[in-house]
Homo-oligomer: A and B are copies of this chain.
Amino acid sequence: MPEPLFDLEPPRPPARLRFDVDDPRLAAAAWSRLAEPGDVVAGALVAHLGATGALAWLVDAQADPVRALRGENLERLAGGVQRETLRRLADAVGRWSQRLASLDPRRELRVLDRYGGTLLTPGDPRWPVALADLGAAAPFALWVRGDPDLSAWSPRSVALVGARAATSYGERVAEDLATGLVDRGFAVVSGGAYGIDAAAHRGAIAGGGTTCAVLAGGVDRFYPQGNDALLRRVVDTGGAVVSEVPPGSAPFRQRFLSRNRLIAAATGATVVVEAARRSGALSTARRAVDLLRPVGAVPGPVTSMASAGCHGLLRDGAAVCVGDASEVAELAGALGADMAQHRPAESAARVDDPRAGLGPDELLVLDALPARAAATVDSLARTAGLPPRRVVAVLGGLERLRLARRDGARWRGAARPR
């Protein structure tokens, strides 16, 4: 008898599912309960067998793992069946099976219904297609309260993320960015936390725009409770509150980290407004970098620990420095369409600056002109280091600009308008 490939759970009585396994919508909803968000083994299984096929396979595998892991389905899934693939699948079957017995997505859909919500599955035209970039880590379904059309997310949306422990500075900047972005036709996407997340939603709503909160737990219970009223307003103002886990799911810490990948993948750019060095918001930025999405970071005082994570992103070159909505729009928008107004740093020269249009010789003579006692051309020539003839010519121009005044054969500076 050959050595066993792996330890398997002992065979169990086959689970009797209480719903139609062949309904793709129910099967997708089922997988969003069975597997934790971002479970790439489940993702690969569903991608290869379909949600219904994968579910049927799991029911078989739970009852008789050895047969399921040697069957032709598995060969289809894994191509050449490798020891490591088998081991991961065997582990996964054990994990998923824990939730198989109590599984009933119809119940969770009834809860969603009660809140007027919608279940989106990957084939739906309202599904945010950019999530496909997550590959096997893409969600199986999205549970949505509010406007379920998330198809516009990716082309024109920005994730504004940051720390719960934000400063008033950070919250103010998040609000201003959100307002400015919805003004420019972008949707705002964030989490549901206090601090930067909440400020981003407030700013978007204040700007009359659309904002979406992606939660780590189920959408039946807005978390944290203190943001319940705000998240209701998100729903009521044409936005959406979204989760990839079904109603009744608790917002575990691990689910926050998984949730961050959705925010990064679904949006055109991610901006970290304020984040301490180990803030979870940085994981959203890292996910966005991995997904080749543009990332921005808002700077703050180097003395403020709440900005240290943003500065780290800037130092690493992982993020671009952004400070206002036009700069964020440039980052997220179609190239050219949203270019932040070009502000050449030293370019000169505000229109009201009398020195603005002057050439180097003019500036030398202007600097040489005494404010009080008038000076001769020769003395100006020595001071400015220019030939007297040149000084005379320059003085004429400065006089016309009312920057120099003649005083007999001598010259002085004119009071400069400010």
* Chain A interface residues toward B at CB < 8 A: 9, 34-36, 94-99, 102, 167-169, 172-173, 250, 252-254, 276-278, 282-283, 286, 298-309, 311-316, 320-324, 327, 343-350, 355, 360-361, 363-364, 367-368, 381-390
* Contact A367:B301 (CB < 8 A) given known A276-B346, A385-B95: yes
Q: How far is the CB of A9 from chain B (nearest CB, A)?
A: 6
Q: A302: which B residues are within 8 A, CB to CB?
A: 173, 298-300, 323-324
Contacting pair B168 A387 (CB below 8 A): yes
Q: A173: which B residues are within 8 A, CB to CB?
A: 302-303, 385
Contacting pair A360 B95 (CB below 8 A): no
State A97–B312 Cα separation when bound (angstroms): 55
Q: How far is the CB of A296 from chain B (nearest CB, A)?
A: 10
* Contact A95:B169 (CB < 8 A) given known A299-B307, A315-B327, A363-B254: no
Q: How far is the CB of A142 from chain B (nearest CB, A)?
A: 19
Q: How far is the CB of A74 from chain B (nearest CB, A)?
A: 19
Q: Which of A169, A282, A298 has the most CB of B within 10 A?
A: A169
Q: Which of A286, A313, A327, A363 has the most CB of B within 10 A?
A: A363
Contacting pair A254 B311 (CB below 8 A): no
Q: How far is the CB of A341 from chain B (nearest CB, A)?
A: 12
Contacting pair B388 A98 (CB below 8 A): yes
Q: A324: which B residues are within 8 A, CB to CB?
A: 302
Contacting pair B303 A363 (CB below 8 A): yes
State A308–B307 Cα separation when bound (angstroms): 16
Pick the residue among B299, B311, B384 that contacts A169 (CB under 8 A): B384
Contacting pair B386 A172 (CB below 8 A): yes
Q: A348: which B residues are within 8 A, CB to CB?
A: 278
Pick the residue among B168, B364, B385 that contacts A364 (CB under 8 A): B168
* Contact A254:B367 (CB < 8 A) given known A299-B302, A303-B173: yes
